Amino acid sequence: MRASRFPLFTSKETPADAEIASHRLMLRAGMIGRLGAGLYTWQPLGLRVLQRVERIVREEMDGIGGMELLMPAVQPAELWQESGRWDLYGPELLRITDRHGREFCFGPTHEEVITDLLRRELRSYRQLPLTYYQIQTKFRDEIRPRFGVMRAREFLMKDAYSFHLDEASLEATYQDMRGAYSRIFQRLGLDFRPVKADSGAIGGSVSEEFHVLAESGEDEIAACERCDYTANTELAASRPPLPEPQAPRPAEEKPTPGIETVAEQAEMLGITAAQVVKSVVVMADDEPVVLFVAGDDELNEVKAAHALGAETVRLAEPEEAFDATGVPRGFIGPVGLPQGLRTLVDHRAAAATNFSSGANRADWHWVNLNWGRDTPAPQTAELRTVRAGEGCPRCEGTLHITRGIEVGHIFQLGTKYSESMGATVLDEHGRDAFLHMGCYGIGVSRVVAAAIEQNHDEHGIIWPDPMAPFQLAIVSINAHKSPRVAETAERLYRALQAAGVECLWDDREARPGVKFADMELIGIPRRIVIGERGLDEGTIEYRHRRAAESENLPLEGAVEALTQRCAETG
């Protein structure tokens, strides 16, 4: 490709609203263009990268027997009503009405559509197992679209679905998929981890996410330094707490006028935050519930939702909390709450003895409370988020916390959709059996941004070879003044293209510094420079994007040498 004919819309300006490197660099390199909130055009440069990711994803999906299909982006509401998700999915689902007043949505995911297809088409259990996949545009009306294509509203996903007669077959395909995902992210040259995950709105029991490790990642991952335990902190388990060997002391009410935080409470009472049990009022779907966690712990809303069997759990507004308890914020506690108000105590808070908590009246707290003696017998569950430095739930090791970008998610759904939508197949005894199902997503467009988060410097992007839009940049210096430079560049360009090296020849009439800056910004992994001075010596200049220095290559044999270097890593 000649740069003079390619829309290289690079820019020096740092876009004001771009908070992270990949967003800034994708805009500055002219890979993407913003149309509206969470809506982006993939310009030719960006699309070349996106298509490289797609190619590797396709190869690995085909490699485990996946069959590609393409489903409609617009889906009838009836299917979502059947699965029960029309009401559950909430405002992230973009709902559309057609000219006849019929309701549709723009698909955020395709479990309903593929289940409908299979319930119509499948004839016999002998056709199972089956794995389908597509690479297609999804729409999710994200509450906070940001970071460019990293969290867009319209984005490209590879979604795969597998169907099985039984659980064992589902498990086998899930493991194949897990292997294919590892190969995909490895081939793309990314530093990634599979982590145990929550199933969220998709549903099902077993699920793992694939995370690209990056400081800018929105997810926190707990990983053991000793064993392979790795889990999203939404779900990472706590080690069971040891009982405190303290003799119970008599409980006492203390005045604590005006305190608002756990820290203030601990200071006023001369205790540590760990000796406080804090009360958090949440709305579990529409029901208020009081949750108790240790004063130095964070409530984990995902765990709370699981423990309460609720679809969603959120912190109650101050008025909702007051309506439920009759107590002003900061002074709620486990002694004497209204009858019938649901409560749940985190395991670690439940192991506390002689703890302090609100007295259920303004400006008073208890000290030396003990569960059961001073309160109703506690119902307990895992409700806290693990912290860096605490013990691994699996082994004697210690957990540390890193940040990651979720680029893939695999689920064993079981019969969730086949039961709600009546998708059955005749088994070997001629009886109807519900299909077992798995689903597997990769955020293809997010992968591009995630790769940049891991691979950039102050000059721009540094593509891992398999994702690079071009393998080699050819920069000719002042070719418009030097026929010798122009001819040599043209000859090398043609010969390298013919040898299968994808080149971007910067043949523009621009200053060398401008060309170097652009080639670095857009992240082409290798560059040659052809200029008068080198040609006098019979050489051209070569440099890898990660190398500190250039080297001189003899012009003689340069095509072979460069072809080999491009093949070595890519």
Positions touching ligand ATP (CB under 6 A) are 109, 140, 142, 151-152, 155, 157, 200, 202, 406-409, 441, 443, 445-446
Tell me the β-bridge partners of 403.
220
For ligand ATP, which is the closer residue by CB, 233 or 356? 233
| Residue 416 Cβ vs ligand ATP, minimum distance, rounded to whole Å | 14
Q: Whose CA is closest to 98, among 75, 68, 131? A: 75
Find how far residue 390's CA is from the centre of its chain.
24
For ligand ATP, which is the closer residue by CB, 384 or 409? 409
For ligand ATP, which is the closer residue by CB, 140 or 508? 140
| Residue 354 Cβ vs ligand ATP, minimum distance, rounded to whole Å | 40
| Residue 213 Cβ vs ligand ATP, minimum distance, rounded to whole Å | 14
Q: 272-289 burial by CB neighbour count: b if 16+ within 10 A, else e?
A: ebbbbbbbbbbbbeeebb
For ligand ATP, which is the closer residue by CB, 49 or 501? 49
| Residue 540 Cβ vs ligand ATP, minimum distance, rounded to whole Å | 41
Contact 431, 189 (CB under 8 A): no
| Residue 85 Cβ vs ligand ATP, minimum distance, rounded to whole Å | 12
Q: What token pair was written down for 134?
A: 């597509």
CB count within 10 Å of CB 534 equals: 19
Q: Cα(467)–Cα(116) distance, rounded to whole angstroms?
A: 36
For ligand ATP, which is the closer residue by CB, 135 or 529? 135
Contact partners, residue 51, CB within 8 Å, separation at least 6? none
| Residue 82 Cβ vs ligand ATP, minimum distance, rounded to whole Å | 20
Q: What token pair was written down for 162?
A: 């597998």
For ligand ATP, which is the closer residue by CB, 41 or 261? 41
Q: Whose CA is closest to 205, among 35, 422, 415? A: 415
Q: What is the 3-state secondary structure (H, E, C) of 376-408?
A: CCCCEECCECCCCCCECCCCCCEEEEEEEEEEE
For ligand ATP, which is the closer residue by CB, 26 or 485? 26
Q: Cα(379)–Cα(74) distance, rounded to whole angstroms?
A: 45
| Residue 442 Cβ vs ligand ATP, minimum distance, rounded to whole Å | 6
Tell me the β-bridge partners of 432.
426
Q: Cα(360)–Cα(436) distance, rounded to whole angstroms?
A: 49
Grouping H, G, I as helix, E, B as strand and the rest as coil, residue 410 is strand
| Residue 194 Cβ vs ligand ATP, minimum distance, rounded to whole Å | 12
Q: State the Cα angle at 208 between 81 and 399, rounded to 5°.
A: 135
Contact 146, 19 (CB under 8 A): yes
Taking CA atoms, 204 is separated from 66, 126, 198, 240, in Å, by: 21, 25, 9, 26
Q: Whose CA is closest to 236, among 215, 220, 225? A: 220
For ligand ATP, which is the closer residue by CB, 185 or 371? 185
Tell me which amino acid residue 203 is: G
For ligand ATP, which is the closer residue by CB, 160 or 344? 160
| Residue 61 Cβ vs ligand ATP, minimum distance, rounded to whole Å | 14
| Residue 139 Cβ vs ligand ATP, minimum distance, rounded to whole Å | 9
Contact 36, 25 (CB under 8 A): no
For ligand ATP, which is the closer residue by CB, 151 or 527? 151
Residue with the closest Cβ to ligand ATP? 443
| Residue 105 Cβ vs ligand ATP, minimum distance, rounded to whole Å | 15
Q: State the Cα angle at 521 between 520 and 523, rounded to 5°.
A: 65
For ligand ATP, which is the closer residue by CB, 408 or 523? 408
Phi first, then psi: give them for residue 116, nearest 5 degrees. -65, -40
CB count within 10 Å of CB 465 equals: 16
For ligand ATP, which is the closer residue by CB, 1 or 197? 197
CA-based radius of gyration for the chain: 29
For ligand ATP, which is the closer residue by CB, 34 or 446? 446
| Residue 261 Cβ vs ligand ATP, minimum distance, rounded to whole Å | 30
| Residue 446 Cβ vs ligand ATP, minimum distance, rounded to whole Å | 4
For ligand ATP, which is the closer residue by CB, 198 or 502? 198
Beta-strand relationship, 472-476 and 526-530: parallel
Q: In this structure, is the dihedral angle defined by the CA atoms of residues 12, 18, 19 and 25, taken in order, positive or negative?
A: negative
Q: Whose CA is closest to 358, among 317, 383, 327? A: 327
Q: What token pair was written down for 109?
A: 């995911």
| Residue 450 Cβ vs ligand ATP, minimum distance, rounded to whole Å | 8
